[in-house]
Amino acid sequence: MRLSRPFFQLPVLFDVERLQTEVAALPVEAWGPHPDRAPGNSASRLISAGGGETDAVHGQMLPTRWLNEAPYLRQVLAGFGVVWSRSRLMRLAPGAVVPEHADINYHWHTRVRLHIPVFTRPEVRFHCDGEVVHMGAGEAWIFDNWRRHHVENGSEAERVHLVADTTGTAAFWQFACGPTPPREQWRTVGWEPSARSQLLTEHDQRSSVMPAAEVQLLIDDLRAEITLAADTPEVRSRAARFDLMLQGFVQDWRQLCGLHGIAGEGKADFQRLAGAVHQAARPLAEGLVMRTNRAGALLVLEKRVLQHLVADDLG
């Protein structure tokens, strides 16, 4: 999700000792490779599709057995009062990095990632769009993951963050991005053994066919962000034709939704249209990039839109 600046620190603090105790108690089998297999990166799943050992972003999100064995982590997440999607503990080995990237997938169009550091050192640095911060243990941060970002663990110890994805409520966004009181006025959320934490998790968000209104939203957002890698007459011409192609795609998708609905009927027609648009976009997208993070326009079209238009396993 795009934010007005790279980083926001939320005005709340958590019990570092309790966080560290619960994370340190997790068994070896709770940890697995990072989803992207990045060297020195590993993860423990806390909320996942079906509560299983998966990194899927689709499906009914449920707490895993590891989160059920960590009551304070559950209390921390429940305390925000938001609906959580995929959430994990992310571990970074001494000297390791999270390579620079931007999160352009469909999942991130409406979601933000909350970071709560558990184990960290001052040498750990989080970079986003030219700004650099150290996120202290027990703090809470969000950042604009549409921008280019990376993490460096320059310390001799493992870094572990609780990371949790959400679309956020109005109250959450006001809390996260509104006026920040002096730090001495921030609330510290301690461990409450008697607390009954109501953890809210995402239902399966997929429909058989993406509604026309959502396709319009995604395409309009893409069109507004496209710029030229090099300002030449040829690239300008391709940009104009690419824009017209995207507008026509939305119009044709709306017609198919009108004809078939979105429950799964006429799925082959939707798939043919998506395939035709993909083929038409390939030559036109050359030299077109995203203004904010310089990602290629074709790659963003694929990952944010085309790959999510029709769910083959639904309907």
- Average pLDDT (15-26) is 98
Question: Angle at Cα 45 formed by Cα 42 and Cα 48, nearest 5°?
Answer: 140
pTM of the model: 0.93
SS3 114: strand
pLDDT tens across 160-179, in order?
999 999 999 999 999 999 99
Q: What is the largest CA-CA distance in the chain?
A: 67
Q: Give 49-59 pLDDT, tens digit per residue.
A: 999 999 999 89
Contacts of 261 (CB under 8 A, 6+ apart): 209
- The radius of gyration of the chain's CA atoms, rounded to the nearest angstrom, is 21
Enumerate residues 6+ apart whose C-beta is below 8 A from 10. Answer: 114, 139, 140, 141, 142, 175, 176
Each residue of 81-136: pLDDT tens digit?
999 999 999 999 999 999 999 999 999 999 999 999 999 999 999 999 999 999 99
Asked whether residue 13 is domain-assigned, the answer is yes
Q: Is residue 271 in a domain? A: yes
Listed residues 201, 223, 240: the one ending a domain: 201
Task: Note the pLDDT of residue 253.
Answer: 98
Structural domain of 262: 212-308
The pLDDT, as a whole number, for residue 149 is: 97
Same domain membership, residue 170 and residue 35: yes
Q: Is residue 224 part of a domain?
A: yes
Q: What is the DSSP string of 47-92?
A: EEETTSS---SSS-EEE-HHHHT-HHHHHHHHTT-SEEEEEEEEEE
119-142 core/surface letters (b: 16 or more CB in 10 A; e: else)? bbbeebbbbbbeeebebebbbbbb
Burial of 259 (0-12, 13-18, 19+ CB in 10 A): exposed
Q: How many domains does the chain have?
A: 2
Percent with pLDDT over 70 in the chain: 99
Domain final residue, candidates 143, 168, 201: 201
Q: Is 33 helix (H, G, I), strand (E, B) or coil?
A: strand
